[in-house]
Structure 1
Amino acid sequence: MYRNTVADVLLWKRWYASVGVLVSATTLWILFEKAGYNLLSFVANVLFLLVVILFFWAKSASLLNRPFPPLPNLEIPEEIVAKAAGIIHVYANYALSIAREIVIEKNFKVFLQVVSGFCVASYIGSLCNFLTLVYIGVLLSLSVPLVYDKYQHHIDEKICLAHKIIQEQYKKIHDAILKKIPLSSNKEKKTQ
Structure 2
Amino acid sequence: MCSIGISDRTATAMANQIKEYSEDAMRWVFKVGAQSEWYVFAATMAGLWLLSVIGSSSDLLTHLFIGTVMSMSVPVIWLKYDDKIREHGKRLHLHSKRFYSLIDERVLQKLKNKVKVNSPRKEKKVE
Q: CA deviation at 1:162?
A: 1.5
> Matches of 1:130 and 1:172 in 2, distance apart?
43
Aligned counterpart, 1:141: 71
Q: CA deviation at 1:161?
A: 0.9
Q: CA deviation at 1:185?
A: 5.6
The TM-score, its normalising length taken from structure 2, stands at: 0.55
> Matches of 1:167 and 1:115 in 2, distance apart?
26
The TM-score, its normalising length taken from structure 1, stands at: 0.39
Unaligned runs of 5+ in 2: 1-23, 122-127
Aligned counterpart, 1:183: 115
Offset from partner CA, 1:6-42 (integer Å, 9 cap, x none): xxxxxxxxxxxxxxxxxxxxxxxxxxxxxxxxxxxxx
Within-5 A mapping of 1:156-175: 156-175=86-105
Q: Secondary structure at the match of 2:116?
A: coil
Identity %: 27
Q: CA deviation at 1:116?
A: 0.9
Offset from partner CA, 1:31-72 (integer Å, 9 cap, x none): xxxxxxxxxxxxxxxxxxxxxxxxxxxxxxxxxxxxxxxxxx
Q: CA deviation at 1:127?
A: 3.2
Alignment size in residue pairs:
93
Q: CA deviation at 1:142?
A: 0.9
2:50 to 112, 120, 125: 120
Q: Which has the higher contact order (CA 8 A, sep 6+)?
A: 1
The runs of at least 4 consecutive aligned structure 1 residues that moved more than 3 Å come to 174-177
Root-mean-square deviation (CA), in Å? Answer: 3.2
> Matches of 2:107 and 2:48 in 1, distance apart?
27
